[in-house]
Amino acid sequence: MTLQHVSSMRPVRIAGLVATLAMGAAAPDALAIAVPPWAQAQVSTPAPEHDARTAAVVLYSETALSIQPNGKIHLLERHVLKILRPEGLPYTVIRADSNSQVRTIRMHAWNIPSSGKPSDVDDRDAVESALIGVLYGNLMDDMRSKLLRVPAVVPGGIVASEVEQELQPYVLADDWVFQGPLAVREAHFSLELPAGWSYRARWINHPESAASTDGPRVLWTLTNLKPIRQEPLMPPWQAIAGRLAISLVPPDGHDQSFESWAEMGRWYSNLTRGRRDSSPQIKQRVAELTASQSTLLQKIQAIAAFVQSDVRYVAIELGIGGLQPHAANDVLMRGYGDCKDKSTLFAAMLKEIGVDAYYVVVNSQRGAISATTPPNLGFNHVIVAVRLPPEARDASLLSVSVHPKLGEIVFFDPTDSYMPFGSLAGPLQAGFGLLVTPDGGELVQLPVLPAIASAVQRTAHFTLDENGTLSGDVQDVTKGDMAALARRQVDLAPQETDRIKSIESMMANSFPTFQITKASIRSLSVHSQPFEWNYRIEVPNYGETSGPIVTLRPRVFGSKSPGFLETNEPRENDVEFEGPRKDTDLFEIALPAGYAVEELPAPFDEDHPYASYHSKTELVGHTLKYTRSFEIKQLTVSAALAPELRDFFRRILNEERQVAVLHRTAAR
């Protein structure tokens, strides 16, 4: 589903998100180029505040919406950027997206160098492609990206662009996104309404700014907007960027925008009416899938596995198809569909066994929609909420919430072929979605699964010989997101010999040399069961010898200390972990005869609201035993706690490097 591309009257365009493209550049016009006054006026203006590493800044930004009495909308966007460093050259690519609701009328851009004559390019120099950045990609749609590269730009130069579009949206709502990765000196938004029309304005992630009027136009002006720094594990831009949500109300009082989530739910319910109707083919397929299942839960699981694995993800989204699912029977007969199609078929099939299911329209990035977000179509994915009959309840179902009217509901993603019924991928947990019921809709928060539901449980038994070679067997049992990742890596391996690449990569980060002598997999296709790797490794020179002393690391491999916070700049954005997780390790190393333990690493115990880490090394008989657990407990950690989190990871890294000291007590 690609709701984000038709969610407002225009798609979001942030210059520079498009990589530098190998497109033909138009030769500069031999005649003098007329630079428009709004662009020429910015040539001598000072740049907004920035540091020495800033690649580009926005000197001027203007968005103008003009509403026609028939509901059509004219959009004019102007931007003036100054390129400061070579890294800013990708911002010379201008992008305009279109679909059945959005028609690009004109594109024009100018290169205004710091010395020399300006040049320009327009629609004739543009390249059109399939829409860039669509989740999963679409087989067929009417969404296109038009790209215009401004040639011969060098640092110190100015790029000005102007894009005109005609819009005829399904929903009369728009977002003015005025904050992005670049500092902005001056930003303007204007709205021109015909007689009798009105609007509602809601500010998101920014203090309210008063509007002014200029005849029929309503105007907002903002200055000196700070950039959003791109950082690892940061929340999505919708959760951070300042924006103004505009809803338009025609004079007939028929509001084509959403005042409440309930209204939006009723709109989507009407859009999907009849799509989940049954058919003889659906009845027959359900009967075949459930014939050998003895319990209601087993029947639900059988249907879920079929829709996940046997219905391919293929998106055909023409016009309203970006929002409206295909009929359930069509999805079944064709054997493919996108997320909303698979959800539709799943709900229709469940109805045949007496189980109700409801659409849940979500954003696949936690934080893009929050409890305070005004009603809008800022979603990009559809899952389902299954109303769980009492006889189907089971402790294995973890993605469960209790609804005040519906009772227990299980959130399930039919598109995620690796996450079994009753589980939910980490990025969806704690996110908000629109639950669509016959009564309308409501914004609900998805559950957070226990950390143990997504885990790597590693058990290894090694022997250290007299020459310092470590060898032994390892068993990795993975669940939840970690199992999904492991299965995906194996499935995507181009050859069977490449399946072990993920294990080899982990070993390469811990040992200068090693050998995996054998490896096997369990439960690759049975997604309701944990996924297992079983392998044997040999590591030469693992014990470092100095005379009668041997040192070795009890934590044999596998680090829990990411380095994403190791920067010279203070963290600006919250840390957003993918999901809860609890990993455990047990490493046993049988020591060679004639050696005794002289020193062991001290135990490590730290417990914070956001994470915990515990480890212990002990001698049991003549075997070194190392145990540890690492848990992510809090999905979001505030930027204010980033230094504390960084220091926590540093202490973990130090613990992982600790060694045990052995000494030889008898001749070898």
Stretch among 96-105, 137-146, 228-237, 574-583 having the lowest mean pLDDT:
137-146
Residue 441 has what pLDDT? 92
Model confidence over 236-275: pLDDT tens digits?
999 999 999 998 888 876 656 788 899 999 999 999 999 9
How many Å separate Cα 268 from the centre of its chain?
24
Q: Residue 464's pLDDT band (boundaries 50, 70, 90)?
A: very high
Residue in 513, 491, 511, 490 with CA at minimum distance from that of residue 502: 490
Helix axis angle, 296-309 to 280-290, nearest 10°: 120
Range from 369-383, 395-409, 532-546, 594-608 carrying the lowest mean pLDDT = 369-383
Write out the residue limits of the CATH 2.60.40.3140 domain(s) in the chain: 3-249
pLDDT of residue 168: 85
CATH topology of domain 452-664: Jelly Rolls (2.60.120)
pLDDT at 254: 60
| pTM metric for this prediction | 0.88
Q: Name the residue among 365, 426, 374 with its Cα closest to residue 235.
A: 365
pLDDT greater than 80 at residue 562: yes
Q: Specify the DSSP element, H or E, that contains 351.
A: helix 339-351
Cα-Cα end-to-end distance for the chain: 67
**What is the per-residue pLDDT across 424-434, written as a single tens digit (0 to 9) for each?**
999 999 999 99
Q: Could you say which DSSP state residue 67 is in? A: E
Q: Report the DSSP beta bridge partners of residue 531.
A: 478
Who contacts 133 (Cβ-Cβ below 8 Å, separation ≥6)?
A: 17
Phi/psi for 172 (5° steps) reads -85, 75
Alpha helices in 561-603 (DSSP H): none
Average pLDDT of span 121-146: 72
Q: Quick one: fold of 264-447?
A: C8orf32 fold (3.10.620)
User: In angstroms, rounded to a whole number, what is the distance separating the alpha carbons of residues 377 and 363?
Assistant: 10
Whole-number pLDDT of residue 602: 97
CATH of 3-249, one of 3.20.20.210, 2.40.50.100, 3.30.70.260, 2.60.40.3140: 2.60.40.3140
Q: Which parts of 492-632 fold into alpha helices (H)? A: 501-508
**CB-based burial label for 256 (10 Å; 0-12, 13-18, 19+):** middle
Start-end of CATH 3.10.620.30 domains in the chain: 264-447
Residue 543 or residue 133, greater confidence: 543
Mean pLDDT, residues 319-323 taken together: 65
The angle subtended at Cα 367 by Cα 237 and Cα 223, nearest 5°, is: 35
Are the beta carbons of 184 and 216 closer than 8 angstroms? no
Reduced DSSP (H G I as helix, E B as strand, rest coil) percent helix, strand, coil of the chain, to 5 = 20, 35, 45
| Cβ neighbourhood burial of 628 (10 Å; 0-12, 13-18, 19+) | buried
Q: What is the predicted pLDDT for the residue at 9?
A: 34
Each residue's pLDDT tens digit, 70-96: 888 999 999 999 999 999 999 999 999
DSSP state of 594: T
Q: Which comes out higher in pLDDT, residue 31 or 130?
A: 130
Share of the chain above pLDDT 70, in %: 91
Where in 356-438 does DSSP place strands (E)?
A: 357-362, 381-387, 400-403, 407-412, 432-437
| pLDDT at residue 2 in the model | 38
pLDDT greater than 80 at residue 17:
no
| CA-closest candidate to residue 345, choices 395, 412, 397, 296 | 412
CB 160, CB 34: distance < 8 Å: no
Question: Residues with Cβ < 8 Å from 208, sequence gap 6 or more?
Answer: none
Name the pLDDT band for 31 (thresholds 50, 70, 90): low
pLDDT tens readout for residues 481-522 = 999 999 999 999 989 889 999 999 999 999 999 999 999 999
pLDDT band for position 315 (cuts 50, 70, 90): confident
Angle, helices 296-309/339-351, rounded to nearest 10 degrees: 150
What pLDDT shows up at residue 258? 82
Strands in 515-522's sheet, in edge-to-edge order, are: 515-522, 531-539, 470-479, 455-464, 581-590, 623-632, 611-620, 604-607
